[in-house]
Structure 1
Amino acid sequence: MSQNSSMPANPAAGINLRGAVDLSALKARATAPAGAPTGGSPYAVDVNEQSFQEFVGLSQTVPVVVSLGSSRSTQSAALNGVLEKLVTDYAGRIALGRVDADTSPQIAQAFGVAALPTVVALVKGQPVPLFEGELPEEQIKSFLDELLKVAASNGVTGNLGGLPDDAEPAPLPPLHQAAYDAIEAGDLATAQAAYEKALAEMPSDTDAKVGLAQVNLMRRTAEIDTVAADAFRTRAAGDPDDLDAHLAVADLDVTGGHVEDAFARLVKYISLHFGAEREPARVRLLELYDVIGVGDPRVSTSRQALARALF
């Protein structure tokens, strides 16, 4: 295992994980009554290119393990079975995301995967390489034990289900709860309205600001199908002045996990334009910073590039 213990100890990004709609299945299983059927570990979830960024957000709270395999591979299935057993034993201190590289190749490419299965981890959004192929359960457990030490050294010591049996989770503020319920119901317009009302009542409400940024991103990308996505990418590649295309591609890149590409695209657009058209790009970039988390090092790096582009 490559222990990335020198990783910067950035503050938690403040992403509203309770509003991460793509992780609702994980939340439901993690809070299911004892003995309820879960269909696997309560701390494991299938992750694809659309939900990956949401899953990465969990690494602000607990270390997350990403198992990159193939649905056609018995080796991948066997490894996932071992990983599910182990993360269950850790009782919420580690989350597992199963990625089918056949259907989500961009995730495998982002990690530079050379062979399947490959297992990596994330702590505060930063990659921690683990291993390739199948290993004995005892050896995998030793890697996960070391991962917890790396996470603890960087201030990541949360628990997805670690409330005492007699404890009740702290209730969300009413408007936040309304937004969360709307997200789970697929009603993004109502969620947007609830977060906007929360911000109107308290402009300093960071969680509402982040939640609104997430919902806005979900709404925008939900309206872009594969054909439209390809068209936007073609337009952006051929026209550096096509603002709508560059905004759309940046959204798609963030949703697909290509955060640095999205940030660089918008910074470049801003650096090449000096009229009113640069303001929508700047505003969108700031909103995407909120989605990723202000403590993420990719945001810090991009902010420096943005400052150079503006001044």
Structure 2
Amino acid sequence: MSAAMAGAVDLSALKNKADNASRPPAANGPADDAAATGTPAVIDVTEATFQAEVVDRSMQVPVVVDLWAEWCGPCKQLSPVLERLAQESGGTWVLAKVDVDANPRIAQLFQVQSIPTVIAIAGGQPVEAFAGAQPEPQIRQWITALLDALREQLPGIQAAEQAAGAAEVEEEPEDPRFTAAEEALDNGDFAAAETAYRQILEAEPNNEQAQAALAQVRFSARAENADPAAIERADAAPDDLDAQLAASDAELATQQVEAAFDRLVRTVKRTSGDDRNRVRQHLIDMFELFPDGDPRVTNARRALASALF
């Protein structure tokens, strides 16, 4: 889902405006402040603060820039995931949120074509990016790969990891069942991760964390092999159940959320018995990938109820 940023981007384009902005004097740079006072994991950034909060800070740890807007539906799906992961990061990276409507020059600087767009800044330059909302497991893998690639270059990553490790000594140990599942997921072993989460649910059928994680793992495994051509094949064979399920996965993997939901609702209307139950369950599993209250899920649930009854 990620792509390296090609070529250099002159992030100093915003520096003059930042230099003219009033901000409290600091004895240390941003990274030193982070170590001394505990920089927030999530920062709202403007054109005036971009130089200090993003460019300067990226000399110590990666800064992941989330370009969003209030009117952007997918942003409301992606941003909470990024915020939660940043809070869990222990300071190994920082999330910088940029409202593109209020700060258009930043979006112009990166030549952003659509939002949400997420750009990782390291050493004062963009190094990785992706566009569109993504499933949480894929975002975790993206961040893990980013940290692995930059650990030797940015001293703040190891410093934060060492500090977090010292703190964990005093904390209660993590649930080893979830640790095993997350390690498998970080390694891209979806089958092992699914097995681990299944074992948790066998012992605790109502474990909501394991239920949500299992839904994410199952979709990530399917999305990895999703074939965009499946959509065309399914359109040509509306009665082919397997084709419709594969096409819905391909649509969801490419952020065509409403199209994926609509396809499965239409398929529910055309089927009955075990086939209908299979499609219904596939759609319900997809709903589990989205946060509570997502309007696309709400609308699709209504459409599904109408199709069933």
TM-score w.r.t. the length of structure 1 is 0.51
**The residue matched to 1:292 in structure 2 has which SS?**
coil
- 1:208 aligned to 190, 207, 210, which one? 210
Structure 1 stretches (4+) deviating beyond 6 angstroms?
163-166
In 2, distance between residues paired with 1:262 and 1:79?
Answer: 30
Corresponding residue for residue 118 of structure 2: 97
Corresponding residue for residue 258 of structure 1: 256
In 2, distance between residues paired with 1:303 and 1:170?
Answer: 40
Identify unmatched segments of 5+ residues in structure 1. Answer: 1-20, 23-32, 69-73, 81-94, 111-162
| Residues 1:193 and 1:66: Cα distance change in structure 2 (over 3 Å) | farther
Contact 2:66 2:96 survives alignment (8 Å): no
Contact 2:65 2:97 survives alignment (8 Å): no
CA deviations on 1:40-71 (whole Å, 9 max, x unpaired) are 86341699xxxx99845516759984789xxx
Contact 1:53 1:257 survives alignment (8 Å): no
CA deviations on 1:181-231 (whole Å, 9 max, x unpaired) are 11111111111111101111101111111111111111112223xxx421x
Corresponding residue for residue 62 of structure 2: 42
Deviation at 1:251? 1.4
Deviation at 1:295? 3.2
Corresponding residue for residue 18 of structure 2: none
Contact 1:183 1:191 survives alignment (8 Å): yes
Deviation at 1:255? 2.1
**The residue matched to 1:252 in structure 2 has which SS?**
helix
Deviation at 1:174? 1.9
In 1, distance between residues paired with 2:178 and 2:192?
Answer: 11
Identify unmatched segments of 5+ residues in structure 2. Answer: 3-33, 37-56, 68-74, 87-94, 121-125, 134-162
TM-score w.r.t. the length of structure 2 is 0.51
In 2, distance between residues paired with 1:188 and 1:54?
Answer: 23
| Residues 1:59 and 1:38: Cα distance change in structure 2 (over 3 Å) | closer
| Residues 1:165 and 1:234: Cα distance change in structure 2 (over 3 Å) | closer
**The residue matched to 1:245 in structure 2 has which SS?**
helix
Contact 1:65 1:97 survives alignment (8 Å): no
Question: Is 1:229 the equivalent of 2:242?
Answer: no
Contact 2:117 2:130 survives alignment (8 Å): no
Query: Is the radius of gyration larger for structure 1 or structure 2?
Result: 2
Identical positions, percent: 31
- 1:298 aligned to 282, 288, 296, which one? 296
| Residues 1:177 and 1:260: Cα distance change in structure 2 (over 3 Å) | same
Deviation at 1:249? 1.7
**The residue matched to 1:277 in structure 2 has which SS?**
helix
| Residues 1:173 and 1:43: Cα distance change in structure 2 (over 3 Å) | farther
In 2, distance between residues paired with 1:180 and 1:253?
Answer: 26
Deviation at 1:282? 0.6
Contact 1:66 1:98 survives alignment (8 Å): no
- 2:185 aligned to 180, 183, 192, which one? 183
**The residue matched to 2:238 in structure 1 has which SS?**
coil
| Residues 1:282 and 1:55: Cα distance change in structure 2 (over 3 Å) | same
In 2, distance between residues paired with 1:252 and 1:66?
Answer: 30
Deviation at 1:275? 3.5
